[in-house]
């Protein structure tokens, strides 16, 4: 069940979307009143020792280096060697592992789920920060524990100069236009490319609900790759109307025009054709299950549980059925099945099968969900 927010402090999500989203920063005092951090600093340090968790430490002014970036997994002993001030531990995609952070992610489902990337947690000691920078993505910064002083700066672009010789993207110039001290439950929303700088006041934990936006280069690449796969060797450049020319080595604009016509003709894709590759692309998992494809069980289980890393979304087709995209693959099913898969964490297999016209189709659909490691049998049953 989704527990999405309908209000952000005093304003409705509708007002937020029309006036702030992708436009300007918003400070929301007590957006989540009484919020208590689900993770302590020690638990975060413990998670940073784990192989499957993407972790980084940013150190400022340490051992004569202005900024340093360390990549995890870390050794426990490292924490005894770190200074008392000016460092930050960042842990990525914790919504996959911490149920309370999965719930936090769901609060933002007033936006399309496919735009949400992950929930990152950062723990900083006094003075710790990742420096003045901008991101390419929207972010909601929730103060989880302690206090952080956020400064909001100028809007940046490709020409905004970065500090040379550091492994981090740090702005050379930062003009503070606004500043706020955030306390637990407060949220700061920042649109892409707005400079910001958050400095811990004593120990603090911040949760970042980060968004993603595919680059236009990636969209064009994926679209043409998918188009290219649909052609046969027989579809080729043709020039039945060719005329004699003065210079055989000259590429004439009429040659180019024939190529241009092919490209323009091929770009006339329907929304359904675009949805095919776009849905598959969006449902690819970043933190893939190393086990790969799973063997479907011999006997159909009563119910199945969704794996936490499963990414799914669906597209409603004109014929009233749905194209469901799961972990980079595409399955055809009734719309209600697609909705259930996307919104429920547990599936009753017979309820799913019943919604298909033929039982065999339902059965094969369930088997595909299992082999894609999107769902698994609850082993506690046995
Ligand atoms: C942090 O939480 O320390 C950094 C988050 C950000 O600035 O994007
Ligand atoms: Co940032």
User: Is 206 near ligand 1, meaning CB less than 6 Å away?
Assistant: yes
Is residue 16 domain-shared with residue 104, that is, in the same domain?
yes
Reported as type and span, the H/E element at residue 112 is none
pTM, two decimals, is 0.92
Residue 317, in any domain of the structure = yes
Neighbours of ion ligand 2 (CB under 5 A): 135
pLDDT at position 98, please? 97
- Strand, coil or helix: what is 132? coil
> What percent of the chain has a predicted confidence (pLDDT) above 70?
97
What CA–CA distance (Å, rounded) separates 122 from 52? 17
* Nearest CA owner, ligand 1 atom 1: 122
pLDDT at position 278, please? 97
What CA–CA distance (Å, rounded) separates 363 from 352? 9
Do residues 271 and 58 touch, judged by C-beta distance below 8 A? no
Residue 223, in any domain of the structure = no
- The pLDDT tens digits of the residues spanning 160-199 come to 999 998 889 999 999 999 999 999 999 999 999 999 999 9
Fill in the DSSP letter of residue 237: -
Is residue 39 domain-shared with residue 187, that is, in the same domain?
yes
Counting from 1 in the atom list of ligand 1, the atom nearest the Cα of 135 is 8
More confident: 234 or 111:
111
Residue 173, in any domain of the structure = yes
pLDDT at position 165, please? 86
Which ligand is in closest contact with the Cα of 182?
A: 1
Reported as type and span, the H/E element at residue 60 is strand 55-62
CATH number of the domain residue 363 falls in: 3.40.366.30
User: Is 148 near ligand 1, meaning CB less than 6 Å away?
Assistant: no
Q: How many residues does the chain have?
A: 382
Rounded to the nearest angstrom, the distance between the alpha carbon of 11 and the centre of ligand 2 is 24
Could you say which of 186, 211, 236 is where a domain stops? 211
Which ligand is in closest contact with the Cα of 90?
A: 1
Rounded to the nearest angstrom, the distance between the alpha carbon of 198 and the centre of ligand 1 is 7
pLDDT at position 1, please? 53
pLDDT at position 382, please? 45
Is residue 62 domain-shared with residue 161, that is, in the same domain?
yes
User: Is 198 near ligand 1, meaning CB less than 6 Å away?
Assistant: yes
Do residues 323 and 279 touch, judged by C-beta distance below 8 A? yes
Range of the domain at 26: 7-211
Residue 256, in any domain of the structure = no
Residue 260, in any domain of the structure = no
User: Is 280 near ligand 1, meaning CB less than 6 Å away?
Assistant: no
Rounded to the nearest angstrom, the distance between the alpha carbon of 168 and the centre of ligand 1 is 12
Residue 247, in any domain of the structure = no
Could you say which of 159, 189, 211 is where a domain stops? 211
Residue 311, in any domain of the structure = yes
Residue 266, in any domain of the structure = no
At residue 2 the predicted structure's pLDDT band, cuts being 50, 70 and 90, is low
Is residue 175 domain-shared with residue 294, that is, in the same domain?
no
Question: Which alpha helices (H) appear in 40-94, and where do they start and end?
Answer: 41-47, 78-81
User: Is 135 near ligand 1, meaning CB less than 6 Å away?
Assistant: yes
CATH number of the domain residue 165 falls in: 2.60.120.650
Could you say which of 211, 239, 258 is where a domain stops? 211
Rounded to the nearest angstrom, the distance between the alpha carbon of 133 and the centre of ligand 2 is 6
At residue 266 the predicted structure's pLDDT band, cuts being 50, 70 and 90, is confident
Rounded to the nearest angstrom, the distance between the alpha carbon of 131 and the centre of ligand 2 is 9
316 φψ region: left (φ > 0), alpha (ψ -120 to 50), beta (else): beta
Fill in the DSSP letter of residue 126: T
What CA–CA distance (Å, rounded) separates 31 from 197? 21
Counting from 1 in the atom list of ligand 1, the atom nearest the Cα of 197 is 7
Is residue 202 domain-shared with residue 65, that is, in the same domain?
yes
Is residue 158 domain-shared with residue 44, that is, in the same domain?
yes
Rounded to the nearest angstrom, the distance between the alpha carbon of 206 and the centre of ligand 1 is 7
Is residue 29 domain-shared with residue 117, that is, in the same domain?
yes
In the chain, the number of structural domains is 2
- The pLDDT tens digits of the residues spanning 26-82 come to 999 999 999 999 999 999 999 999 999 999 999 998 777 789 999 999 999 999 999
Decide if pLDDT at 380 tops 80: no
What CA–CA distance (Å, rounded) separates 62 from 82? 9
């Amino acid at each position: 069940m989704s527990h999405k927010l309908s209000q952000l402090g005093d304003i409705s999500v509708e007002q937020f979307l029309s006036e702030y989203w992708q436009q300007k920063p918003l400070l929301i005092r007590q957006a989540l009143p009484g919020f208590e951090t689900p993770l302590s600093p020690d638990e975060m340090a413990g998670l940073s020792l784990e192989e499957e968790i993407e972790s980084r430490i940013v150190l400022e002014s340490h051992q004569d280096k202005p900024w340093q970036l360390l990549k995890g997994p870390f050794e426990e002993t490292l924490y005894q060697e770190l200074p008392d001030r000016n460092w930050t531990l960042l842990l990525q995609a914790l919504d996959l592992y911490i149920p309370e952070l999965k719930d936090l992610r769901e609060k933002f489902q007033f936006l399309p789920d496919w735009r949400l990337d992950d929930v990152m947690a950062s723990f900083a000691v006094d003075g710790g920060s990742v420096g003045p920078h901008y991101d390419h993505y929207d972010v909601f910064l929730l103060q989880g524990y302690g206090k952080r002083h956020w400064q909001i700066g100028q809007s940046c672009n490709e020409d905004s100069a970065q500090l040379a010789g550091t492994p981090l993207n740090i702005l050379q110039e930062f003009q503070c236009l606004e500043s706020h001290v955030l306390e637990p439950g407060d949220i700061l929303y920042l649109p892409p490319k707005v400079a910001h700088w958050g400095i811990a006041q004593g120990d603090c934990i911040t949760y970042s609900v980060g968004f993603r936006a595919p680059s236009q280069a990636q969209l064009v690449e994926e679209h043409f790759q998918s188009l290219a796969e649909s052609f046969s060797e027989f579809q080729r450049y043709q020039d039945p109307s060719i005329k004699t020319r003065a210079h055989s080595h000259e590429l004439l604009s009429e040659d180019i025009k024939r190529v241009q016509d092919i490209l323009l003709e091929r770009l006339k894709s329907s929304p359904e054709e675009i949805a095919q590759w776009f849905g598959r692309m969006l449902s690819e998992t970043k933190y893939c299950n190393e086990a790969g494809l799973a063997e479907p069980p011999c006997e159909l289980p009563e119910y199945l549980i969704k794996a936490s890393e499963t990414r799914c979304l669906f597209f409603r087709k004109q014929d009233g059925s749905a194209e469901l995209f799961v972990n980079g693959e595409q399955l055809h099913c009734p719309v209600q099945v697609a909705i259930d898969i996307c919104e429920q964490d547990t599936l009753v297999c017979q309820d799913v099968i019943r919604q298909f016209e033929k039982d065999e189709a339902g059965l094969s659909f369930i088997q595909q969900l299992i082999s894609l490691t999107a769902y698994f049998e609850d082993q506690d049953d046995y």
